Chain A
Amino acid sequence: MQHPDRRRFLELSAAGLGAAGLSGTLPSAAAAAAPASPFKPEPGASIQLLRWTGFVKNDDVIWAEHTKNFTAQTGVKVEIQELNWPDVTPKAALAAQVGSGPDIVMGWNDDPFIYPDKLLDMSDLAEYMGKTHGGFYDTARAYCYDPDVKRWVALPVGVTGNAVVYRQSWMHQAGFETFPKDFPGFLKLAQGLKKIDHPCGFSLGHAVGDANSWTHLVLWGFGGRQTNPDNSIAINSPETANALEYASELYESMIPGVSGWLDPSNNQAFLAGQCSMTMNGISIWYVAKDQFPAMAPDIYHALPPAGPSKQHSIMNNFTSAYIFKYSKYPQAAKEYLRYMLDEAQAAPWVTGMRGYVTLALKGYAELPIWTSDPKITPYRDSMEVTRFDGYSGRPGRAPAQALTEFVIVDMFADVAVNKMTTKDAMRKAESRLMTIYKHT
């Protein structure tokens, strides 16, 4: 998929970003690179996009600049509204409820399956993008393609990838030359880190991102699952019990207070040098490079080890773009999305964010940013190792509710922190899930 001159262009924009710290948008390149788009904006169109506030400042800056270019080229006015990322879903749902609001929403996880009949059919756009950019990852398809009505209800965008972030010098000190490859090794590392008084920390509080990422990793790593493919509840199982016991042992080695950790807590503890290892997006290292340059070289990333189930699987938060049927300018909206996720825009965007978002289109795995620094590379595979929440049932309202109510996280916290027996914790989670899934 990479042409030599395109690769050069990407390298140039990456280098330019390194120097200037900002996007290097080249409208001429955009016009030259893309074939004529099948989506023609309506005349006089004006659309509103609701998206999450960028996790890193460059994200918003670059996105806004590309948007300005889009308006200059097509005459379509675009208004961007940004909210803190957990607030996007409720705001979008409210729009769905009242039948008016933003045209496009960049939302999260199960959003499109909560009100699929209020959303525009995105099949033409999704298929076009898939064909021209190397296809979508399976999980992306699971989140956006509705097999019941055989259409795409949203356009996959990507995930905010999580990886294990750790201090290499302390890992060595704890007796590990390389990062452990399996769960027992991982536990031993955690215990070793505690012994040298540099404990690790993984959130067990109501942290929307950080608590879900590692608890699902452990759950799935042992073969446990929330549901079966037919949406029946499968949480109460020996595999889940093993996962719970493992997590409890891990908890004993953690820094105190993780059960009250919200999303920023692990970043802060890590950057203060109090936590040696955690699971997070690339934001910790990003901030360290700016504000803690002495620490940054010691920070390394690794994809977490696979458990007994031998599959790498993490719960990463997945973002997709969906358009409401009430939009007056559907073609303009689609063309905007096509433009923004086209190489000339998407590449500088991902590069400027230093890989914070891993895109759902396989073609973008070849972006030079992923290999520009070996520390960034683990995040390249984030889409590959992501499983959708509520695995292995279908995305929809029920798993969305289970996720936002922290059913899985609380189950782990009940055993580790509240010292509930695994049997009771599983039964409690099972009972809650049965109530939630009955609603569907």
Chain B
Amino acid sequence: MTVRNLRIYAPLALYGIFLLLPFYWMIVTTFKSSAELLNTPNPFLIFHFTLSHITDLLTQTQYGRWFANTLFISVGATVLSVFISYIAAYAIIRLRFPGWQAVSTAIFLAYIVPPAILFIPLATVIIQLHWFDQLWALIPIYATFLVPFCTWLLIGFLKTVPRELEEAARVDGASNVAILWKIIFPIAVPGLISAAIFSFTLSWNEYLYALVYMSSSGNKTVSVGMTTELIRGDVFQWGQLMAGALIGVLPAVLVYFFFVEYYVAGLSGSVKE
């Protein structure tokens, strides 16, 4: 092994162990019999392999429904947030309307209000809007914590787009709206993908709002459904919990595997000087 390889792969292995150990444990627990979880000569190995946790999870709980719900909300919240953030970012950084700085600051400030606290007063608002226990309502609700960061990201990204493009289009007589969609939008794609990935991840993982504002079991998301139905009093169904966690991680992993380059490119565009 060359020195260079060692200098890369050795630390990489250490990072890998630290970052991936819990996932290894999730995998092992998913396929291990419950009794073995409590009594085993070696917790890292599987002695009694079983698929029952996965099959039980998929057949005896509403996991499929929760998965579909979470997918629906995550995609919806992503589309909504990216759209709102894009047009807002464009307005702030390109159109420079009067008061754009104050608006930009205000949007950023919205980020510092934690859902862990806001959800109480927000509950009253949700009730008044008749949004309580309406699954789709989570889409605009999630947008509240996605829009600030996405707007910031897109503002940064749009700053790097050269003005010459716009000026040329304007000379040709294009309206601002046309520029927004036909000229700038295609260039902003890496930034948009970045924002989309970020939004999808945060929506997929959200727990508190989904727990408090949805009540029927048909409206549960993966995190909520699993923790409310697989934790019974003082017995944790570890096998099913970890099976669900693994399956639940898959969509995000797939998205990242294919789009991580875009995500990086999008971010790097927005932090360039």
Chain A residues with a Cβ under 8 A of chain B: 50, 52-57, 79, 81-85, 87, 91, 94, 97-102, 160, 209-210, 263-264, 266-268, 271-273, 280-281, 283, 287, 291-292
**B160 at the binding interface (Cβ < 8 Å):** no
Q: Contact check, B235 vs A267: say whether CB atoms are below 8 A apart.
A: yes
- Interface hub of B217, B227, B235, B236 (most chain A Cβ within 10 A): B235
**B4 at the binding interface (Cβ < 8 Å):** no
Report B61-76 CB contacts with A as 1/0, cut-off 8 Å: 0000000000000000
Extra inter-chain contacts (7) besides given A84-B228, A209-B233, CB under 8 Å: A54-B232, A84-B231, A84-B232, A87-B211, A100-B132, A264-B234, A283-B234
Which segment, of B32-40, B87-95, B140-148, B162-170, faces chain A?
B32-40
Contact partner of A291 among B34, B132, B228, CB < 8 A?
Answer: B34
Q: Closest chain B residue to A292 by CB distance?
A: B35
Compute how far the CA of A160 lies from the CA of B132 in the bound complex, rounded to whole angstroms: 32
Tell me the minimal C-beta distance from A78 to chain B in angstroms.
13
Report B204-238 CB contacts with A as 1/0, cut-off 8 Å: 00000001100111000000000111011111100
- 21 CB contacts below 8 A, A to B, read A50-B215, A53-B229, A53-B231, A54-B233, A79-B216, A82-B217, A82-B229, A85-B233, A87-B228, A97-B124, A98-B123, A100-B127, A209-B234, A263-B234, A267-B234, A268-B38, A271-B38, A272-B38, A280-B234, A281-B234, A283-B233
Q: Which residues of A contact B123 (CB under 8 A)?
A: 94, 97-98
Q: Which residues of B contact A267 (CB under 8 A)?
A: 234-235
Q: Contact check, A98 vs B127: say whether CB atoms are below 8 A apart.
A: yes
Compute how far the CA of A79 lies from the CA of B212 in the bound complex, rounded to whole angstroms: 18
Compute how far the CA of A273 lies from the CA of B37 in the bound complex, rounded to whole angstroms: 12
Q: Which residues of B contact A81 (CB under 8 A)?
A: 215-217
Q: Which residues of B contact A210 (CB under 8 A)?
A: 234
Given contacts A79-B216, A81-B217, contact A283 B124 (CB under 8 A): no
Q: Which residues of B contact A87 (CB under 8 A)?
A: 211, 228
How many chain B residues touch A (Cβ–Cβ < 8 Å)? 23
Q: Contact check, B216 vs A84: say whether CB atoms are below 8 A apart.
A: no
Tell me the minimal C-beta distance from B3 to chain A in angstroms.
44
SS of B interface (majority): helix
Q: Closest chain B residue to A265 by CB distance?
A: B234
Q: Contact check, A55 vs B38: say whether CB atoms are below 8 A apart.
A: no
Q: Which residues of B contact A84 (CB under 8 A)?
A: 227-228, 231-232
Q: Contact check, B228 vs A82: say whether CB atoms are below 8 A apart.
A: yes
Q: Contact check, A272 vs B39: say whether CB atoms are below 8 A apart.
A: yes
Contact partner of B235 among A52, A94, A99, A287, CB < 8 A?
Answer: A287
Q: Which residues of A contact B234 (CB under 8 A)?
A: 55, 209-210, 263-264, 266-267, 280-281, 283
Tell me the minimal C-beta distance from A242 to chain B in angstroms.
29
Q: Which residues of B contact A268 (CB under 8 A)?
A: 38
Q: Contact check, B228 vs A55: say whether CB atoms are below 8 A apart.
A: no
Q: Closest chain B residue to A270 by CB distance?
A: B38
Compute how far the CA of A99 lies from the CA of B127 in the bound complex, rounded to whole angstroms: 9
Compute how far the CA of A267 lies from the CA of B235 in the bound complex, rounded to whole angstroms: 7
Q: Contact check, A281 vs B233: say whether CB atoms are below 8 A apart.
A: yes
Compute how far the CA of A100 lies from the CA of B216 in the bound complex, rounded to whole angstroms: 14
Give 7 closest A-B pairs by Cβ, nearest first: A55-B233, A272-B38, A263-B234, A98-B127, A264-B234, A291-B35, A264-B236
Q: Which residues of A contact B215 (CB under 8 A)?
A: 50, 81, 91, 101-102
Q: Which residues of A contact B231 (CB under 8 A)?
A: 53, 84, 264
Compute how far the CA of A56 lies from the CA of B234 in the bound complex, rounded to whole angstroms: 10
Q: Which residues of B contact A280 (CB under 8 A)?
A: 234
Tell me the minimal C-beta distance from A281 to chain B in angstroms.
7
Q: Closest chain B residue to A291 by CB distance?
A: B35
Tell me the minimal C-beta distance from B124 to chain A in angstroms.
6
Q: Contact check, A57 vs B228: say whether CB atoms are below 8 A apart.
A: no
Q: Which residues of B contact A281 (CB under 8 A)?
A: 233-234
Q: Closest chain A residue to B211 by CB distance?
A: A87
Q: Closest chain B residue to A268 by CB distance?
A: B38
- Interface hub of B120, B215, B236 (most chain A Cβ within 10 A): B215
Compute how far the CA of A99 lies from the CA of B132 in the bound complex, rounded to whole angstroms: 12
Compute how far the CA of A91 lies from the CA of B229 in the bound complex, rounded to whole angstroms: 16
Q: Which residues of B contact A99 (CB under 8 A)?
A: 127
Q: Closest chain B residue to A90 by CB distance?
A: B212
- Interface hub of B39, B211, B229, B232 (most chain A Cβ within 10 A): B232
Q: Which residues of A contact B120 (CB under 8 A)?
A: 94
Given contacts A94-B123, A273-B39, A291-B34, contact A55 B216 (CB under 8 A): no
Q: Closest chain A residue to B227 by CB distance?
A: A84
- From 33 to 52 in chain B, residues with beta carbon under 8 angstroms from any chain A beta carbon are 34-35, 38-39
Tell me the minimal C-beta distance from A284 to chain B in angstroms.
9
Q: Which residues of A contact B211 (CB under 8 A)?
A: 87
Q: Closest chain B residue to A271 by CB distance?
A: B38
Tell me the minimal C-beta distance from A285 to chain B in angstroms.
12
Tell me the minimal C-beta distance from A287 to chain B in angstroms.
6
Contact partner of B232 among A56, A91, A266, A291, CB < 8 A?
Answer: A56
- Interface hub of A57, A85, A98, A266 (most chain B Cβ within 10 A): A98
Compute how far the CA of A52 lies from the CA of B234 in the bound complex, rounded to whole angstroms: 12
